[in-house]
Structure 1
Amino acid sequence: MRVAIDRRIAALLLAAAAFAASPARAALVETAAALERIPVHATLNEAMKGELFAWRDSDGIWISAEDLARIGVPTEGTELRVINGRPHARVDRLEGVVAALDEATLTLAFTVEPALMQAQLFDLSRAEKLEITPSKGVSGYLNYDLSAERADGASAYSGRLLANLAAGGWLARTEHQTTQAAGVTQNYRIQTFVQRDWAPEMLRFIAGDFDTRSGSLSRGYSLGGISFGRAFDLHPGLVTSPTARLTGIASSASTAEIFVDGVQIATRQLQPGPYDFRNLQDFAGLRNVEVVIRDATGVRERLRIPFYFTERLLSKGLTDFNVSYGAERSASLDSYGAGVFSGYVFHGFTDRITLGVEAQRSPGYSFGAIAAGLRADPIGVFSAQVGAQRLGDADVALAGQFAWNYTRGGTTLRALARGFEAGYNARTVAPGTPGQLDVAPRLRREATVGWDQGLGWTLMLSLSATDRRYFNALPQRDYGVSLSSGFFGIGNLVASVLRTCITNTFCTTQAGASFSMTLGEPYGATAGWRRDADGGQTSYVQADRNVPLGEGYGWRAGAQQTPTSREAQADATFRMRHGVINAAARGARLDDGTRSEAYRAGVEGAFACVGKSCHLTQPVTDSFAVVELNGVEGVRVSRNNELIGSTDSQGEVLIANVPVLTRNDIAIADEDIPISISVPANRQVLVPAQGVGYRVRFDLHPILSVVGRLVRDHNGVKVEVENTELIVRSERADSLRARTGKGGWFQFDQVEPGRYHLTADLEEGPCGVHVEVPAERTAVFRMGEVKCEIAAQF
């Protein structure tokens, strides 16, 4: 057995020797016994990179590959030497690198060809990239809306319920409505579905009731079934449209200034080497993007590129898709019909080209289309779509659409053309369906051109012209002009005219003007006039007080005059902690002397729960949150700087309206918190998912003054520990120091509840004791007599 072991050891030694001598081995293993370790100051292309340690022997200077990578010196293709278990590179053997050591200052200067250095990446996206806040446990709410109305002696009642439950990434929702009028009661199930989102992959699944996407050539359906597709909104802040990108090489440490149309939007510090500015975005249109590089001597380099920004295309590599199948829901919401398939996919093949296909199928109806979008700098964005449709046994009918948009500075030009063959019908109901009257004009072709022009100050002028040709109606032409202007931030004026002419028949003119202004937050007013196609004129005026998101009230009152009546109306909304009350009244006098009156009153609210914490509250919109302050009452809570309410006796307040998939800053008022309470943070960020309830907890703790009397046992006798330094330690706070006084009395201020260890340094050794400070609301916690022991350790 001894011989077998010796043979194994010999074999291992031979294998190790062969491995060490192998020419294919890239790293040499060596200890640091024969090397000198020195600290050096590193610079890279004259930029300071901090201190690091190097090894020196008769061959040269060696630095770890990890440190070289950290300061930006490339090591690709260099033979490495393992020293003390870490791979090192000899600095004079680095390809494309010149290294020089100043012995006097121990400064190791690296000069690297900029093209060999790792690119510096800069994200210039203006949209804040957010992650959806994870939810825990089960949450849900039940919204209710009850109202009664009396109009001209007749009464009507309605009720609406919406139930929502969220857990484990799933969402279930159902909504129902009932109405009673003229002795007839009707019940509706508006919508019921379950939904599952996968945020990292931006995917969404729906089972139940939903609406399909409807394009300019396809149909829109309300289905009961399943749907699966992309949901870009699950990555808040994601820019899906093409963005500008600029790359280059900085030969030395520099400053980069980025401009769009002459306006500086960003400044970045560059190290020597390649740089890559990504995700630069701006308003739609042709923009001049410029990067100015300034080095330490003031030498400037300018890079200019024109870039056409647009939201009509997908960025390279992004795919938008959806597939849906289900039974078509009737307009009365009380039944389901034939099965329908609907699907589409669009892909950004480059930042200039987006292609897509679309398909739909139902009994007696088939549809397919191809679409393309092209960004053609500097002349704008083009899009085109060709669709084919077949109804029943009829021949295939074609339709097409072409659009162009161009924006530069304050000028926007647009054009749209589309045409349909005789058998094409984009409506949900096919011609000839029993019970349906096929009298609507059927469009043959349409062409529209438009021009929007900024005139400086706050003026905007818009012109448009449209020509329509029909299969079953006379040709029609529309000419429109509108002008809008702001007035010093206090008001806005909008005026428009639309002229419609039917060939060889008649022309009509519609016009309108309105002026809206703020009267100091939260008040506003609006006045306006309009002329209808039949020549009738209406004038109106309105004043209002905005309804707050939290608790408070708002109102609206107005009057209008038409060719046949004079009317006045008013409504008010009262938002309280546990619900909302609203009321409205309307009165009209007709030209024939008769009167019409109507009154309405309603109450809305919700019962919302996050885990076991339940609240009666205002109606929940989107998502909601229970803000918990660890039992501290009367503290004001705001969302995005708008006051919501104050915490109750349990230290909680519910925010019923938290917009989903966007940033919400939840803040508490420091001045409302007693000075005896510790406030680790007064603001938290919440990015909620749809329909989910959250618990936002602020970890507030009482800060107490602790008073006690320290004693110890000495030879069986209780002795007071006087005039001795006392150290207080805990796992969650820094150490505190004080000194005991006469009788062993001591006091510590600014102490949070928890477990602490008290230590007195005596001649016999440290005398310690563990104590518990409870979460009391009193300003001073009196511990009484505390006995320490020499053996008690922390």
Structure 2
Amino acid sequence: MSIRAIVRPGHQYPLYYRGGLCLLCLSTFNVQAQEYSSLPDAPRAAPVITNAMFYLTLVVNGQSDGQVVPVTYRDNAYYVEAGVLAKNHVHTNGQQGLIKVEDLPGVKVKYDSSAQQLILQVPDAWLPKQDVGGGNLMNYTVAQSSTGLLLNYDSYYTDPHEGSRSVATWMEQRLFSNLGFISNSGTYRYNIDTVSGEGGSAVQDRYLRYDTFWRYSDEQDLISYQLGDFVSNSLTWSNSARMGGLRISRNFALRPDLVTYPLLQYSGTAAVPSTVDLFLNGFKASSNNLNSGPFTLTNVPYINGAGEATIVTTDAVGRQVSTTVPFYVSNTLLRKNLSDFDVSLGAVRQDYGISNGDYSDAAFSGIYRYGLSNYLTLSGHTEATQGLALGGLGADIAVGTWGTLSLSGSQSKANHPPVATSDVVNDQIVRPNTPGMPDPNQDIDNPLGTNVTDKKDGSQYTLGYSYNSTLFSFSAQRASRTVGYQDLTSYTSNTRLSRKSDQATFSASPFGSNNGTLGLGYYDVQAYDNSHTRLVNFSYSRALWGQSSMFVSLNKTLGDNGYSAQLQFIIPLGSDISLNAGLARNNNGHYQQQVGASKAAPTDGGMGWNLAYSGGGDAYQQADVTWKTRYATLQGGIFGPQGNIPTGQT
């Protein structure tokens, strides 16, 4: 019997109440004294469990899938089925059935009764390797094609102040289906007025065919097939050839989400589930979750050049580990085991843009590139036609974090030496001339009767180096050829290659990235007749207020007295209107002022216009209007020297 009395401290109870309470307490004490007159028996010890079956959650290196698995406890040891252990990346050394976990080498076991978990710690090498960043590429959707016919055209009418009125229409017909597409393009010229050409003969209306071909692309294998007219692919140390025939080539453009060059890679190990953050040159590039175990970070593929990466791993309790590594990414290399190729078989096309179908003898051109490692890409090139055979090898090498080195060597053997200077046809191949660089056609414009050789064999060697970083970029390249060296383009077109060419370029932002970019260039071309063209170039560009910008350049041909220069400002005015103004100087010291304004026609339809004026010795003016609709684009305007302005409409 037990009676509890509640006494409130500080409360004054009546005297009779307090007396009764004392008697009650004495009575209670006597009752309890009688019940516990002797000591109770000692408590019995809990029974020792030597064999039991537990249902626990398995935790391996801090990671669990949440599933409850049977665990046998026997003689102070834990036994788990081999299949359960293997599923959780625990190596069982080929054992089957129940396995004593403590006996596995490298495994530590702990039982957490409160969480009902069996905690295992295994070597990090047992856990699966994680590739972090590979899933950041764009989703790939297989292209679909229906059957249809496309007719494309661009018609141009001109009415010069002096000369014949004419209409020139560029046309393309394209038939497409899931079997590829067939395309034909060309230009028809119609002379409204009868005029005479060279020799007094009348200029004839004519159709000039450009290209006719069938092309099919295999997106699974990244291969394109083309039958008809095409331009063969080339390496940095070889030339392309315009041919007619069959071309089979690797086409990485079919999958723009694929990155063909080696990416930034970092390997590490996470002891517990963590988060990894990647910072490139101080800017956060990505954040990913990690499981326990080794991982490889291959993230942010769209970078090029040198930089610094900082990798920060953070575990569940906030502990961080930071690692900084330098890197260099070069898009001139191929990833390990990746290959690229182009095989072209047919005939070299001649007089393109002059005649409809003038082809030489049968010819072959092929290139191949292979990523032997992430630091070495090998390349090969071969050409052949009747009377000519050529072969060459090259390599692109990553020099650690110090840039990329490129080198190559080629050998040619022909039935006849390069054509004599008097036989060179200077107008057969006209290469585009880039402002500020030596004229690429200068190597075929030589005095008559000089440098005739009887050498039928020749060689070419190239050496190049490039380095890009956020601070500056530098590149240098040399190409050297002996007098007897010929390739497919020169052998079939009566042109000759230059003897030697050197070029070096440098760009930097010495005043900070917000204060413009400075560029320097040096170019030296030694033509076939040993004449030199040496040129230096200086340029500077920077952003001004808003979206406006400025550009200045200076070109100097060494050995000449003159120089050319240009200063230009571009100022957006809003509503897609921009204003440009500048000043130009030619080698003879004549200056020309330039001013213009334009408004781009909206892509979804609407009106656009363009106004331009150049003052000085060769005054020039232009005005045109563009109107875009869903069916056609119409353009009309006037242009030409001041006082002699023809009109044109398209």
Measure the CA separation in 2 of the matches of 1:43 and 1:226: 60
Deviation at 1:212, TM superposition (A): 1.3
Name which of 257, 260, 281 aligns with 2:277. 257
| Alignment of 1:115 onto 2:125 | yes
For 1:201, what is the secondary structure of its paired residue? Answer: coil
The reply on whether 1:139 has 2:148 as its aligned counterpart is yes
Q: Report the secondary structure of 2:138's partner residue.
A: coil
For residues 518-553 of structure 1, give each alpha carbon's deviation from its aligned partner in whole angstroms, at most 9, with x where no partner exists: 212411121122222233322211111112221222
**2: CA distance between counterparts of 1:361 and 1:60?**
74
Are 2:405 and 1:382 aligned? yes
Alpha-carbon separation, structure 1, partners of 2:68 and 2:150: 59
Contact 2:456 2:485 survives alignment (8 Å)? no
Query: 1:462 & 1:125 partners in 2: Cα distance?
Result: 38
TM-score (norm 2): 0.77
Deviation at 1:168, TM superposition (A): 2.2
CA distance 1:55–1:399, shift in 2 (3 Å): same
541-550 vs 140-149, which moves further: 140-149
**Helix, strand or coil for the counterpart of 1:233?**
helix
> Within 2, Cα distance between the matches of 1:140 and 1:37?
74
CA distance in 1, matches of 2:487, 2:386: 15
Task: Name the counterpart of 1:567.
Answer: 620
TM-superposed CA distance for 1:91, in Å, is 5.6
- Aligned equivalents of 1:377 and 1:429: distance in 2? 38
Partner of 1:159: 169
1:392 maps to what in 2?
415
Deviations 1:87-114 (A, max 9, x none): x877666654444444444333333322
Q: What RMSD over aligned residues (CA atoms) do the two structures have, in Å?
A: 2.9
> Aligned ranges for residues 78-93 of structure 1 at < 5 Å?
78-81=94-97
Q: Partner of 1:224 in structure 2?
A: 244
Whole-angstrom distance in 2 between the partners of 1:261 and 1:48: 36
> In the TM superposition, what is the alpha-carbon distance from 1:118 to its structure 2 partner?
1.0
- Is the alpha carbon distance of 1:346 and 1:268 closer, same or farther for their aligned partners in structure 2, counting shifts above 3 Å? same
Q: CA deviation at 1:253?
A: 2.3
Aligned counterparts of 1:385 and 1:373: Cα–Cα separation in 2: 9
Is 1:481–2:538 an aligned residue pair? Answer: yes
Shift of 1:585: 1.7
Of residues 535, 551, 573 in structure 1, which corresponds to 2:589?
535
Q: Which has the larger radius of gyration?
A: 2
Matched, 1:410 2:482: no
Moved more, 278-287 or 220-229: 278-287
Q: Give how far 1:323 is off.
A: 0.8
Contact persistence 2:223–2:251 (CA under 8 A): yes
Higher strand share: 1
- AA aligned to 2:502 is A
User: Aligned partners of 1:208, 1:89: CA distance in 2, in Å?
Assistant: 68
Kept in 1, the 8 Å contact 2:334–2:371? The answer is yes
Q: Would the aligned equivalents of 1:328 and 1:339 in 2 still touch at CA under 8 Å?
A: yes
Of 518, 525, 528 in structure 1, the residue corresponding to residue 579 of structure 2 is 525
* 1:50 alignment partner, SS class: coil
In structure 2, the residue matched to 1:512 is 566
CA distance in 2, matches of 1:397, 1:527: 50
Q: Which residue of 1 aligns with 2:93?
A: 77
Q: What aligned pairs does 1:771-782 form with structure 2 within 5 A after superposition?
A: none
Structure 2 Cα separation of the partners of residues 325 and 426 of structure 1: 15
Which deviations, in whole Å up to 9, do the C-alpha atoms of 1:738-790 show, x marking residues without a partner? xxxxxxxxxxxxxxxxxxxxxxxxxxxxxxxxxxxxxxxxxxxxxxxxxxxxx
Identity of aligned residues (%): 21
* Residue 45 of structure 1, CA deviation: 2.8
Contact 2:383–2:487 (CA<8 Å) still a contact in 1? no
Q: Match of 1:403, as an amino acid?
A: G
The one of 107, 116, 120 aligned to 1:106: 116
d(CA) in 1 for partners of 2:349, 2:311: 55
Select 2:366's aligned residue among 343, 347, 359: 343
Please point out which of 263, 267, 273 is paired with 1:243: 263
Q: Secondary structure of 1:115's partner?
A: helix
Does 2:485 match 1:424? yes
Asked if the contact 1:315/1:351 (under 8 Å) is kept, the reply is yes
**1:202 corresponds to which letter in structure 2?**
L
Give yes or no for the alignment of 1:494 onto 2:551: yes
Name the SS of the counterpart of 2:337 in structure 1. coil
Structure 1 residues 539-558: aligned runs within 5 Å: 539-558=593-612
Question: Which residue is equivalent to 1:744?
Answer: none
User: What residue identity is the alignment partner of 1:134?
Assistant: A
Q: Deviations over 1:144-192 (max 9, x none)?
A: 3333221226311122332222222422222232111244211022211
After TM superposition, give the deviation of residue 587 of structure 1 in Å.
4.9
For residues 497 and 258 of structure 1, what CA distance do their matches in structure 2 show?
Answer: 42
Q: Any conservation in 1 of the 2:612–2:622 contact (CA below 8 Å)?
A: yes
In 1, are the aligned partners of 2:277 and 2:313 still within 8 Å (CA)? Answer: yes
User: 1:767 matched to which residue of 2?
Assistant: none
Cα distance, 1:482–1:545 mapped onto 2, change above 3 Å = same
Q: What letter corresponds to residue 600 of structure 1 in structure 2?
A: G
Partner-residue secondary structure (3-state), 2:303: coil
1:450 offset after TM fit, Å?
2.6
Please give the alpha-carbon distance, in whole angstroms, between the structure 2 residues aligned to 1:447 and 1:275: 45
Give the drift of 1:208. Answer: 0.7
Report the Cα distance in structure 2 between the residues aligned to 1:105 and 1:289, rounded to whole angstroms. Answer: 40
Q: Secondary structure at the match of 1:508?
A: coil
Alignment of 1:368-379 (within 5 A): 368-379=391-402
CA distance in 1, matches of 2:578, 2:99: 72
Question: Do the aligned residues in 2 keep the contact of 1:125 with 1:281 (CA within 8 Å)?
Answer: no
Distance 1:280 1:37, change over 3 A: farther
Structure 1 residues 316 and 563: CA distance shift in structure 2, 3 A? same
User: Structure 2: 5+ residue runs without aligned partners?
Assistant: 1-50, 195-203, 417-454
Question: 1:301, 1:63 → 2: CA distance?
Answer: 36
Alignment equivalent of 1:460, drawn from 517, 523, 534: 517
How many angstroms apart in 1 are the aligned matches of 2:509 and 2:635? 42
- Pick the aligned partner of 2:387 from 364, 369, 388: 364
Which residue in 2 is equivalent to 1:449?
504
Aligned amino acid, residue 344 of structure 2: S
Contact 2:279 2:309 in 1 (8 A): yes
Q: 1:170 is matched by which residue type in structure 2?
A: G
Q: Which residue of 1 aligns with 2:649?
A: 601
Shift of 1:509: 0.6
Contact 2:460 2:482 (C-alpha < 8 Å) held by counterparts? yes
* 2:638 equivalent among 585, 603, 609: 585
Instruction: Tell me, in whole angstroms, the C-alpha distance in 2 between the residues paired with 1:52 and 1:500.
Output: 81
Deviation at 1:415, TM superposition (A): 1.5
Q: Relative to structure 1, is the Cα distance of residues 520 and 257 closer, same or farther in structure 2, using a 3 angstrom cutoff?
A: same
Q: Deviations over 1:409-456 (max 9, x none)?
A: 31112222221212234583449x7xx6x7x8x633233333211121
